[in-house]
Amino acid sequence: MTLWTPDPTFYPSPRDAAGAPSEKIAYVAAFDRAAERPDALAVLDTDPSSSAYGTVIGWTDLPNTGDELHHFGWNACSSALCPNAPHPHVERRYLVVPGLRSSRIHIYDTKDRVSPELVKVVEAEALAARAGYSRPHTVHCGPDGLYVSAVGGADGRDGPGGIAVLDHTSFEVVGQWEVDRGPQYLAYDFWWHINQDVLITSEWGTPSMIEDGVVGELLLGRKYGHKLHFWDLRKRTHLQEVDLGDEYQMPLELRPAHDPTRLYGFVGVVTSVEDLSASVWLWFHEDGRWQARKVISIPAEPAAADLLPPLLQPFGAVPPLVTDIALSVDDQRLYVSCWGTGEIKQYDVSDPYEPVELGSLRVGGIVRRTPHPADPGFVPRGGPQMVEVSRDGRRVYLTNSLYGSWDDQFYPEGVGAWMAKIDADSFTFDSRFFPHGDDFRGLRPHQVRLQGGDASSDSYCYP
C-alpha cells in the first residue's frame, strides 16, 4: 500500500509556517522593457552562510520576447491540506509565471535544479478561448485548482477582467471562474478567506487604461478602479461591492489575515486625486455586511518642479504611490512600499483597526534617490516596490520596478535594477544583500517568491 505524505513545505497553520526552516533561495521575475530580449527568472542565494550570499546563482530565459513578467506563484501550497478539497500528494514544485503583456502563462519546474526548467507554455489564445480573459496577473494555488486573475477580456484591450482556473496537474485552462460577476468589470488582485468561502477582488484598469502608462485624463476623471468586490467562493457568485470613494484611485494588493478564523484584511490604494496621498484600508465583516475603513494615510511630499518628471511637475509634490503591501504570516506586521518617495514602512497591526508605525527606511525615490548602505556611491532609481516577507517574519525583500510604461513616466531616466533585504527585527538594511546594476543582466526585477513559500503565497485552513 502506497503511503502519501504531504510536501514538507505545506503547513497546516500560520504558526507551523512561521516555525519552518528559512528559505535559502529566492526566485525573481525580471523583464526587458524594450522587449528585445527574453524576460527571465533569476535565482538569488539568500543563505547568509553561503559564499554566494546575495548573488544571482541561477538564471532561466523565457522562450519568447515581450512577455513582461509581473506576478507569479506556486502550483501548490498549504491550501492543499484544507479539508474541503485536500490534495496532500501534490508538490510545491512548479512556478506558474504569467506574462502581463503577452498573456502567455509559463510553467517552470524547480525540483532538483537551481535554474528552473520550462515544461509548458499556455498560449494567449487558449486563455482567451477557454476563459475569455487576457493579461494574466496574479496566481494563487487553491485546494481545487490554480486561480489566475486577468485584467483584460478576450480582446486584450477592454474588460471585463476576472479569474481563470487552471488544472492542478496538466495546467490546462479549465475555464472562467465567475458564474455571476454582478457589477464587477475592472480587475486586478484577488485572495480569499478560504474557510468562510469568501473571495475578494480589487480593481486597477483594463489593458487599454494601463499598458501605455497612467492616463492623466482617466486618473483625474476618477475612472480607474476604486472598489472591492466580495464573492461566494464556492458558488462563484458576486455578493457585494464596497466603494472606497472615487477619490481613492487604484486599490491594488489584497492581504487577508493569515489566521483563517479572522475576517479582515488590508488593501493598498495607490493615490488620492485630491491631495496625492496614498492609503491603506482595512476590510472587515460587521453587522452582516462587508465594510472598509481607511486605517493608514501617507501624505505626498512637496518638491521643486524641476526635480520632478513631467507627469508630476504641475503638482509640485511627490506622491507616495503605495504599490505593494505585505502582511507577516503571524498577522502582526504590515509592510507598505512607497514607490514614489522611496520609502518602506513597517506597522504594528496587532490591532488591525489601529495600525502603529514602527519604522521607516528609504532607498531610491523620485527626488531623494537615497543610496543603499551597501554601495553609497550608487544612485538607486525606482523605489521599494514589490515587497515580500519570509515565513518567520524576520526578513523582508524588496525590488524596484513597477511596470514598464509606468516606470518610464515616474522615472524617465530609467529605474535601473536593484534588490534589497531588510532585517525585520532591527528594521535595517542588510549591507551584504544588494544585487544591483549588471547583476540582473540589464533586466528589471519585479516580484520575489521564496523557496518553500512566503507571506503572500499560502492559504491556511487551520489557526
Nearest to 45 by CA among 65, 61, 31, 59: 59
pLDDT of residue 84: 81
d(CA 383, CA 337): 8
Q: What is the pLDDT of residues 73-102, one digit of tens each?
A: 999 999 999 988 777 788 999 999 999 999
Q: For the residues 274-292, what does the mean pLDDT come to?
A: 98
pLDDT of residue 398: 98
- The answer to whether 159 and 153 have CB atoms below 8 angstroms apart is yes
Of the pLDDT bands very low, low, confident and very high (cuts 50, 70, 90), residue 280 is very high
Question: Facing residues of 362 across strands?
Answer: 343
The separation between the first and the last C-alpha atoms of the chain, rounded to the nearest angstrom, is 32
CATH H-level superfamily of 14-450: YVTN repeat-like/Quinoprotein amine dehydrogenase (2.130.10.10)
- The answer to whether 245 and 227 have CB atoms below 8 angstroms apart is no
Of the pLDDT bands very low, low, confident and very high (cuts 50, 70, 90), residue 1 is very low
Helix (H) or strand (E) holding 243: strand 237-243
pLDDT of residue 168: 87
d(CA 14, CA 331): 9
d(CA 150, CA 163): 6
DSSP state of 300: -
Q: Look-up: residue for cell 494588493?
A: 253
Q: For the residues 146-150, what does the mean pLDDT come to?
A: 98
Neighbours of 20 (CB within 10 A): 17
Domain boundaries of the chain, sorted by first residue: 14-450
* 79: three-class secondary structure by DSSP: helix
Q: Give the rounded distance of the alpha carbon of 151 from its chain centre.
A: 14
Q: For the residues 332-349, what does the mean pLDDT come to?
A: 98
Q: What is the pLDDT of residues 32-49, one digit of tens each?
A: 999 999 999 999 999 999
Residue 231, pLDDT above cutoff 70? yes
Residue 3, pLDDT above cutoff 60? no
- Phi/psi for 305 (5° steps) reads -60, -35
Cell numbers representing residue 357 in the block: 508605525
Nearest to 25 by CA among 6, 50, 7, 8: 50
Q: For the residues 393-412, what does the mean pLDDT come to?
A: 98
Nearest to 372 by CA among 306, 436, 457: 436
pLDDT of residue 4: 72
Helix (H) or strand (E) holding 125: helix 124-131
pLDDT of residue 143: 82
- The answer to whether 165 and 175 have CB atoms below 8 angstroms apart is yes
**In whole numbers, what is the pLDDT of the chain averaged over residues?**
97
Nearest to 98 by CA among 151, 147, 139: 139
Question: Facing residues of 255 across strands?
Answer: 266
* 207: three-class secondary structure by DSSP: helix
Residue 260, pLDDT above cutoff 90? yes
Cell numbers representing residue 225 in the block: 478602479
d(CA 35, CA 366): 24
Neighbours of 50 (CB within 10 A): 13
d(CA 29, CA 62): 11
Q: For the residues 221-245, what does the mean pLDDT come to?
A: 98
Question: Facing residues of 399 across strands?
Answer: 419
Q: For the residues 390-409, what does the mean pLDDT come to?
A: 98
**Cis omega before residue 251 (within 30°)?**
no
